[in-house]
Amino acid sequence: MDANVNGSKIMAASGVTLPESQQVLVRKRKVADENTERSPLKDRKMNINETVVNGNKNLSQRSRLPQPSLKRMKLNTTVDNTDLAVKKFGSSNVTFSAASTISKIASTRPSIGVRSQYGAGLAKTVQGVGTRSRPMNCAATVTGTIGKKPRVAVTAPTSVETAGAGSKRRPAWDLKGQLSDMKVQLGNMRTRMSEYTSKLEVSEVHSKQLQDSVYQRDKQLEIASSQIEELQSNLKAMELLLKNREVELEKCRAENSAMQGVLENKLKLTETELALKVACIEEQKSTIASLRDVIVDREERLHLTEQERRRLHNTVQELKGNIRVICRVRPVLDSEKEGCGEIEHVQFSHDDDKVITLTKKEESHIGRDRKGEVKYDFSFDHVFQPMAKQKDVFEDISQLLQSALDGYNVCIFAYGQTGSGKTFTMEGPDDMTPENMGMIPRAVDQIFATAEKLKTMGWTYKFTASFLEIYNETLRDLLVTKPEKNVEYEIKRLNNKSEQLHVTNLKYVTVTAEDQVHNLIAIAKANRSVAKTAANDRSSRSHSVFQLMIEGNNSNRDLQCTSTLSLVDLAGSERLDKSHSKGDRLREAQAINTSLSCLGHVIMSLSNKESHIPYRNSKLTYLLQNSLGGNSKTLMFVNVSPLEENFSESLNSLRFASKVNECVIGTAQLNRK
């Protein structure tokens, strides 16, 4: 056990601040000692006295000379020594002196050695005197003798004591004298004995107190030792823990540094990548800048190319003629096939899709058997045979639609007798599919698609649609299902300055997508068929006019263009037998004839470059004024029935169309602002 630790523990324990439990223990001990051990001390005193007396007796028995016994010698030694201690500190300071002594011993190593060296003999001495068998500690007796051998004052009997106080040796015969000397000696000895005894008592008490104190200290020492042991084991555990923690810390440090290395590497890589990317971005920025220049250049060139395309396109259209005629012969319908053999009176050329020949077998004037054949040849811009599909026919008009978007008025109309396929060609059949869609829905689709493409060149378009019917020289809005009564539709100029015409009270619908237009066409078709049942197939005796107003704007270059696309399904061109027609029918026939012949006259007048063009002679020509002639491109479908019974009507239609085809209408003007 560490002496220092031990010593300091004892110091703390034996000082004024003893732990409560131990203070209680000490107090108890003191009380017990006072109660129980006082009597043995007295007994001891008695014993000593007895011993002395006995010794005396023995002495007197063995020899006349007083002989101090060994026991007495030892006792003297102890008493003197103890007396020293008591004298030095006083009885009230016993605890303190003991403690300070112990602390001195404790602080002066080795304490155990000192104890065993100097305390053992002393303890023995005390043991011999006292009654307690408890092992004694030397702490109390070695006060002030640390590191030195204790001075032991042995008081040997003086000559005076042995020979009597101040008397000479008596002669042998002076027995009386000797006896009186011895009595004196005995008296002295008794006095001294009683002094010794009282001194011994004090020493006893002191010794006991010291022993108790030492015992307490031992106890405390034990407790302290066990605490120290416990603390040491705790310390060891803590040290172990600390070691483990240090190992862990070391591990963590190693991991940390490894991680740091990895992160640093990553950071370096990322920084390199970043630098590369920044460089790349810079490069791309410069590329973008140069590409922008290229784009601006290309846009300029594109614009010029577009202008050139428009000019060339128009030149081509002009070369084709500003009024074009396309002939279309419809197929024989399933319902008509019975009793109808091969179609012989309508012939087509194998290698020329521009010609059509009507042939008629005429009875010979010479004899009944020999029949002559009359041929009527016609040539148009294109002749479509019965098997031609809607999309094939549409190809021929699609170029005109481009002209409409480029700012030219375009008018497409279908001419022919009732049942020749005008409505089929312009709108499509009642059971419409994408394949058999007519020219109007196809034209609308293409116009919207082309307008979308022109957006990339800065062009934006506004479209306004209207759909009307002209019957008996009166106008009707086909987009209104239930027209208000007495609504007047009048064809007027928008204003005095404008050449643009409009119809009062007519529904003009702004459309932004083809589907909207398809819906309008469906509404018009439905309104026409209602009228059909109510007024006995009025549709065949009326003209239907679909118009799409196109307004183009190129804000980049401050360009605007306006145009009107008119798609007209004309009334049947058949000639009514006037002799058999009466009333309404007669008026209808006259009206149809008037408007159709007016149309013919207008075209002829334009072709002949007459100063006056009779547009106002019919509602149809007045409405189409801006779409026929000077400023427009016109296309006429001449629809022909394949049936032999319709031969003469087909011939009439082809003759009229041929006349129109021969017309050369003046160069179209671009509606540019």
* Contact present, 651 and 358 (Cβ < 8 Å): yes
Decide: is 429 part of the binding site for ligand ADP (CB under 6 A).
yes
Residue 135, contacted partner among Mg ion, ligand ADP, none, CB below 5-8 A by kind: none
Q: Give the count of beta carbons closer than 10 Å to the beta carbon of residue 348.
A: 15
CB of 641 to ligand ADP, least distance (A): 8
Per-residue string for binding with Mg ion, 412-431, x by CB under 5 A? ----------xx--------
Instruction: Give the contacts of 460 (CB within 8 A, at least 6 positions apart).
Output: 552, 553, 554, 555
Which residue lies nearest Mg ion, judged by its C-beta?
A: 423
Decide: is 422 part of the binding site for ligand ADP (CB under 6 A).
yes
Residue 458, contacted partner among ligand ADP, Mg ion, none, CB below 5-8 A by kind: none
Q: Token pair for residue 284?
A: 């791309």
Residue 66, contacted partner among ligand ADP, Mg ion, none, CB below 5-8 A by kind: none
Instruction: Give the contacts of 381 (CB within 8 A, at least 6 positions apart).
Output: 320, 321, 324, 325, 326, 354, 396, 661
Task: Decide whether 452 or 537 has the Cβ nearer to ligand ADP.
Answer: 537
* Contact present, 452 and 576 (Cβ < 8 Å): no
The rounded distance, in Å, linking the Cα atoms of 214 and 139 is 8
Residue 496: alpha-carbon gap to chain centroid: 64
Residue 110, contacted partner among ligand ADP, Mg ion, none, CB below 5-8 A by kind: none
Give the pairing of strands 559-569 and 409-415.
Answer: parallel
CB of 592 to ligand ADP, least distance (A): 13
Task: Decide whether 245 or 389 has the Cβ nearer to ligand ADP.
Answer: 389
Decide: is 540 part of the binding site for ligand ADP (CB under 6 A).
yes
Size of the site for ligand ADP (CB under 6 A): 14
The rounded distance, in Å, linking the Cα atoms of 105 and 11 is 11
Site for ligand ADP (CB under 6 A): which residue of 639, 646, 650, 671?
A: 639
Bond prior to 110 in cis (omega within 30° of 0): yes
Residue 330, contacted partner among Mg ion, ligand ADP, none, CB below 5-8 A by kind: ligand ADP
Piece of the chain touching ligand ADP by CB under 6 A; list 15-23, 34-42, 145-153, 325-333:
325-333
Piece of the chain touching ligand ADP by CB under 6 A; list 67-75, 101-109, 207-215, 419-427:
419-427
Per-residue string for binding with Mg ion, 506-545, x by CB under 5 A? ----------------------------------------
Q: Token pair for residue 491?
A: 């064809």
Task: Decide whether 407 or 572 has the Cβ nearer to Mg ion.
Answer: 572
E strand or H helix that includes residue 633: strand 632-640
Residue linked to tokens 């190129």 = 554
Task: Decide whether 384 or 637 has the Cβ nearer to Mg ion.
Answer: 637
CB of 414 to ligand ADP, least distance (A): 7
Site for ligand ADP (CB under 6 A): which residue of 333, 494, 513, 530?
A: 333
CB of 478 to Mg ion, least distance (A): 13
Calculate the CA dihedral of residues 243, 247, 248, 251 and round it to 10 degrees.
Answer: 170
600 burial level (CB within 10 Å; 0-12, 13-18, 19+): middle
CB of 431 to Mg ion, least distance (A): 15
CB of 435 to ligand ADP, least distance (A): 11
Residue 615, contacted partner among ligand ADP, Mg ion, none, CB below 5-8 A by kind: none
CB of 328 to ligand ADP, least distance (A): 7
101 burial level (CB within 10 Å; 0-12, 13-18, 19+): buried
CB of 596 to ligand ADP, least distance (A): 13
Task: Decide whether 418 or 446 has the Cβ nearer to ligand ADP.
Answer: 418
Piece of the chain touching ligand ADP by CB under 6 A; list 75-83, 229-237, 301-309, 423-431:
423-431
CB of 420 to ligand ADP, least distance (A): 4
CB of 329 to Mg ion, least distance (A): 16
Task: Decide whether 423 or 618 has the Cβ nearer to Mg ion.
Answer: 423
One-character DSSP codes across 437-499: --HHHHHHHHHHHHHHHHGGGTEEEEEEEEEEEEETTEEEETT-SSPPTT----EEESSSS--
The helix, strand and coil proportions of the chain, stated in percent and rounded to the nearest 5, come to: 55, 15, 30
Decide: is 317 part of the binding site for ligand ADP (CB under 6 A).
no
- Which SS3 state, helix, strand or coil, does residue 556 take? coil
419: amino acid identity, one letter: G
One-character DSSP codes across 472-488: TTEEEETT-SSPPTT--
Task: Decide whether 403 or 418 has the Cβ nearer to Mg ion.
Answer: 418
Q: Tell me the residue ranges of DSSP E strands in 330-422.
A: 346-348, 355-363, 371-379, 382-384, 409-415
Decide: is 423 part of the binding site for ligand ADP (CB under 6 A).
yes
Residue 317, contacted partner among Mg ion, ligand ADP, none, CB below 5-8 A by kind: none
Query: What sign results for the dihedral spanned by CA atoms 242, 248, 251, 252?
Result: negative
Q: Kindly identify the residues of this chain, within the stretch 387-416, that bind ligand ADP according to CB under 6 A.
A: 416
Decide: is 420 part of the binding site for ligand ADP (CB under 6 A).
yes
Which residue lies nearest ligand ADP, judged by its C-beta?
A: 421
Residue 40, contacted partner among Mg ion, ligand ADP, none, CB below 5-8 A by kind: none
With b for 16 or more beta-carbon neighbours within 10 A and e for fewer, the 236-252 pattern comes to: eeeeeeeeeeeeeeeee
Task: Decide whether 55 or 419 has the Cβ nearer to ligand ADP.
Answer: 419
CB of 539 to Mg ion, least distance (A): 6
Decide: is 650 part of the binding site for Mg ion (CB under 5 A).
no
Q: Kindly identify the residues of this chain, within the stretch 497-516, that bind ligand ADP according to CB under 6 A.
A: none
Q: Token pair for residue 264?
A: 């640093």
List residues bridging with 124 in a β-sheet. none
Among residues 183, 33, 196, 26, the alpha carbon closest in space to that of 96 is found at: 26
* Contact present, 376 and 358 (Cβ < 8 Å): yes
Residue 333, contacted partner among Mg ion, ligand ADP, none, CB below 5-8 A by kind: ligand ADP
Decide: is 421 part of the binding site for ligand ADP (CB under 6 A).
yes
Task: Decide whether 45 or 422 has the Cβ nearer to ligand ADP.
Answer: 422
Task: Decide whether 356 or 561 has the Cβ nearer to ligand ADP.
Answer: 356
CB of 652 to ligand ADP, least distance (A): 14
* Contact present, 633 and 403 (Cβ < 8 Å): yes
Task: Decide whether 55 or 642 has the Cβ nearer to ligand ADP.
Answer: 642
The rounded distance, in Å, linking the Cα atoms of 530 and 528 is 5
* Contact present, 105 and 146 (Cβ < 8 Å): yes
* Contact present, 145 and 151 (Cβ < 8 Å): yes
CB of 331 to ligand ADP, least distance (A): 5
Piece of the chain touching ligand ADP by CB under 6 A; list 77-85, 226-234, 285-293, 422-430:
422-430
CB of 643 to ligand ADP, least distance (A): 11
Which residues lie near Mg ion (CB under 5 A)?
Answer: 422-423
Which residues lie near ligand ADP (CB under 6 A)?
Answer: 330-331, 333, 416, 418-424, 429, 540, 639
